[in-house]
Structure 1
Amino acid sequence: MTIGHRGAAGYETENSIPSIKKAIDLGVDAIEIDVFKIKSGEVVVFHDDNLKRLAGFDVHIEDLTLEDLNKVQLKNGSQIPQLHQVLDIIDNKVRLNIELKGANTAEPVHAIIQDYITSKNWSTESFIISSFKWDELKKMRALDKNVPIAVLISEDPLNALDLADELKAEAINPHYKKLTGVNVEVIQERGFKVYPWTVNNPEDIQLMKDFKVDGIISDYPDRVHANVENLQPAL
């Protein structure tokens, strides 16, 4: 499975509508995005807790109201989208991995995805919920016994096995540099899929394929499809 990281972040400003559209155009199987809940309650698609890197001023995303948000322009000229806007663009064409980046995101995200399941004929399997905030994953599982969950971890991925068991998770999403052929096999034997992030260089993509991971999260999703021997390394 090819998973576009923050859309297609190697080509367009991450988590923006152009990035989402680019990932779909590149033929991904799924798209990964990040979400926060802002001050006025909306769920917005953004990675950093601060706007400085992508919008140029030092403000925390969670301190914004919707009125404030609508005045923010990203470096590519687009706005920070709300989750429902991204869902409308995706239109159930590909699967959506929603990373709960901010605090108190499980409940509003669950409400939104349930609305799309009940009113727009999406399925539970259209989504996968991931987070480094394991307490948010536990909240999500308490709200919904069926929604697919992936446990994010930046250290030894075997340390996520117990939580993955507890949550009846679909997958563990580790940093690709923490993977070996052995620990991938251990995770899969325990019944979990492995979706490593963020794999951009052709040699690393090939290594993940050699490890037989179940999906690859990349800023350059077309490279996952490609014959990696013919690609130049990412800068």
Structure 2
Amino acid sequence: MVITGHRGAAKLEPENTCLSIKKAIDLGVDQIEIDVHLTRDQQLVVIHDQTVDRTTDGHGAVSDLSLQEIKQLDAGKGERIPTLQEVIDVVQRRVILQIELKGPDTAEPVVRLIERKNIESAVILTSFVHERLRKVHQINLNIALGALWSVPPDDVCQQALEIGVEAIHIQHQNIDADLVRDAHLQGLKIRAWNPDTVREIQQMIDLEVDAVGSNRPDLLVQLCR
């Protein structure tokens, strides 16, 4: 089973920071999941929320702030919000980078950066907004995609195939044996997010999902290796 650190190691270090990402790599994950938004000056930064309020000592929407303004903020333990390029440079292809396209209009600049860094084979792009995934494949068919759902619709596998993704990413509470079987019969991988207790993680192992993302990658490694 593929082990993914969610926002790095989000319950161990400040989420989506280089410190959190390095922690997950040190723990031995296979993949790291991060989120991207665009700043006011069209720079790709790694942050989950639309605003900086929850995860930093600042206030305001990411899209209303310049990169210079964002770089002044403390994202926890003195860490700064990293750019996507900084994260790519930290990871150095040691693990697969799973990038969720959070902000609107992120698809094309993310793809262009991936192309410039020549890491098409070392990334997976995901989104709840599936039109963004279609946009990715309009630009570059060589980048792997994953479609996100909290609660999967009845025709989730059909929708996934129509979008052109290789995997469905489902909130762990909404995965059962029938869904895993159906996904595999359709040639799709199924990735679970985000079980954070031993009991929750073990349930996903027992269901034989293909990958699990967790804010506690330390527990994932202990249980899966």
TM-score normalised by L of structure 2: 0.95
Kindly indicate whether residue 90 of structure 2 is the aligned counterpart of residue 89 of structure 1: yes
Cα offsets for 1:141-194 (capped at 9, x unmatched)? 111112100000011254432332123211000000110011111111111101
1:134 aligned partner: 130
Call closer, same or farther: CA 1:199–1:157 in 2, change over 3 Å.
farther
User: What percent identity do the matched residue pairs reach?
Assistant: 35
Call closer, same or farther: CA 1:206–1:162 in 2, change over 3 Å.
same
* Aligned positions of 1:40-119 closer than 5 A: 40-117=41-118
Call closer, same or farther: CA 1:177–1:211 in 2, change over 3 Å.
same
TM-score normalised by L of structure 1: 0.91
Mapped to 1, the partners of 2:193 and 2:26 lie a distance apart of 21
RMSD: 1.3
Mapped to 2, the partners of 1:159 and 1:22 lie a distance apart of 37
Instruction: Describe the SS at the equivalent of 1:15.
Output: coil
* Aligned positions of 1:1-235 closer than 5 A: 1-117=2-118, 122=119, 124-156=120-152, 158-227=154-223
Cα offsets for 1:15-71 (capped at 9, x unmatched)? 001000000000000000000011101100000111111113430011111221121
Mapped to 2, the partners of 1:128 and 1:227 lie a distance apart of 24
Cα offsets for 1:95-152 (capped at 9, x unmatched)? 00000011000000000000111xxxx3x22110000111111111111112100000
Mapped to 1, the partners of 2:186 and 2:9 lie a distance apart of 31
Structure of higher RCO (CA pairs closer than 8 Å, 6+ residues apart): 2
Give the number of aligned pairs: 223
